[in-house]
Amino acid sequence: MLDLSVPKEPFEIALPYGLSVTVKPLTTAGMATAQAAARRAFEAIERQVRERREAGLQPDGLPDLSSDAERDGFYQAKLIRELAVRHVTDWTGVELEGGPAPPTPENIAAVIALYPVGERFFQEFTLRQVLLNAARKGSGPSAAGTSSPVEGPNTVEPAETPTSPAPAASY
């Protein structure tokens, strides 16, 4: 069963490798803050790469951001890191030097960088919000228009149905 209520208290997320994290609920402000921090980190790396190239140096040790896929992946990784560092309050299943590791920003970033831990964290942490948004919006507009006869006249004309480009069947 899926509970679509908005959590007001910290909750747990099970992650790969037997890890479990306790997180503060995601809010609009929390997401906006994480996105802004990820964008700043991305822009700083982009600036470093550009400055090194302009100086005639190789951008050794910096990510290759030449393709859209690399850029998108790098930004996504930064966003996941920022969300985790800002929202994870506790965890179980993480050790350091034979004992439990404290959930410091550096430790959280190191764990979230592992695949598939970060990916699963992002999916589970944002899934509830995605489902809530979908439930609030209900179903999309109908092909017949946006209003029912009970609600009054259509605000949008019905969608046109093009003729099928498939050839007629021959028997």
**Pair of tokens at residue 37:** 């921090």
> What pTM was computed for the model?
0.71
Q: Considering only CA atoms, which of 145, 97, 127 is closest in space to residue 23?
A: 127
Q: What is the pLDDT of residue 64?
A: 85
Q: What is the pLDDT of residue 10?
A: 94
Q: What distances in angstroms separate CA 48 from CA 44, 66, 70, 78, one per listed residue?
A: 6, 13, 16, 16
Q: What is the DSSP letter of 142?
A: B
Q: What is the pLDDT of residue 1?
A: 61
pLDDT in tens, 3-58: 666 678 999 999 999 999 999 999 889 999 999 999 999 999 999 999 998 999 98
Question: Looking at residue 85, what is its pLDDT?
Answer: 97
Q: How far apart are CA 124 and CA 7, in angstroms?
A: 13
Q: Of 7-21, 82-96, 124-138, 148-162, where does mean pLDDT reach its minimum?
A: 148-162
Whether the CB-CB separation of 128 and 7 falls below 8 Å is answered with yes
Domain residue ranges of the chain, discontinuous segments joined by +? 12-137
By mean pLDDT, which of 1-5, 15-19, 64-68, 90-94 is the weakest? Answer: 1-5
